Amino acid sequence: MPAFHALSYSRTAYLKALSCELLTRLLVPFADYFKGRDFAPDVSQAWNDSDYDKLASILGSPDSDTPDELTEALFLITQTAQSVNRERLVDCANEAGVSLDANDCDGRIALKFWLSHPEGLKDLYAENSVNKARSFEYFSSEEEVVAPFHLPSPKVIELLQKNLCVWFAKHGRGEGCKIQVYPKGHEVWFLLLHGDRFQRVGTWEDGNLGIIGYRPDKQDVVVFDSMTNELRIHAGTATLRELYRSFFGFYLFGREKYFPGINKYTLDPILKDGSQCLYCQDVPGIRNVQLVKLVCECFDKVRYKISLDCKDMFKVLEGHTKHQTRLLAASFSFQVTNSHRARNLIIKPSNVALYSRDEDSSLIEEWIKKRGFTGKTNTNTICHEQKEFILEFA
């Protein structure tokens, strides 16, 4: 679970919105702890303001005796209420048979969900964690997509999970691993929950310096796209990304090298085609594309890295050849027809693309492919009329 934060549920107004009846049901299993902190409201009648103030003070100042189960419950309830789309939250609660009222706020819905079906709320929180992953490394298969992809069976997931457990234990990341599968259209998202390396931190209790040790949790994401036959991985280290690339290739398709570690993205069109690479009129839904930042490695008498953030990147790059300058990263800004908010894209060769995966992500992906940033499209096919349009609006 991520770091403990108590800002939301240590506010009196937030606790009042949850209702004393639901809070009482949540706190009853921890009655001894709250009694030790001088909090024992009369459960037979409504709480007064001082009761809410007292509870807010206790939750906002956890001590070493605070039950881990209470911390987990408060964290999951609050984070799910704040980060999960309300419609999704209501749908999942209804599916679990939770009794809801029309005027329930998100926090109250999440609390009811936890009280009646805690595992369901945990799954919803994990599902939402998958959607937050933004930076991926891509691995394309050299095989053609010839048949519909079928979800791996529970037995296959169990075998994959078991062998990952062995690897994590052998490499100092603790025992155990859990894989959760989320089909999303032509994609299948795999959330991998496991331990990180053991850590120790200093503590200060009652005027004395101490040390506590703990093993943080980690959440990695692996996505298989059956439309493009590629794997994309969100993980903290290159070692883990390589592990997932080979393991998922083997357990999904029978070959460790089904997804070879080949390059997915290139920034060559920027040096090769100049401002032509920003053309977007052949992608309906995108109004304009701008190159807003470049990170380059330059080779002169010495090698050095520069970051360019100016109005005319292409003019700055004039005089540089492909052999004198290597582009390490490029940031683009997109204007789409159905929104006033700009969409941002960062490409870092050879396998990293960073952008929000929302309803406009397919437009960005189409533009990336058409302009040759995947290394599969010939950008020289852009006609003269298009070049003039780009130069006018870039």
Q: What is the pLDDT of residue 222?
A: 95
Contacts of 241 by beta carbon, 8 Å cutoff, 6+ apart: 137, 233, 235
Q: What is the pLDDT of residue 3?
A: 47
> Which residues in the chain land under pLDDT 70?
1-10, 43, 133-134, 146, 262, 301, 303, 319-323, 357-359, 375-394
Q: What is the pLDDT of residue 320?
A: 58
Q: What is the pLDDT of residue 390?
A: 28
pLDDT, tens digit (0-9, with 9 covering 90-100), for 308-334: 887 778 887 775 554 577 788 899 999
Nearest to 70 by CA among 19, 125, 9, 120: 9
**Distance in angstroms (rounded) separating the CA atoms of residues 365 and 332:** 13
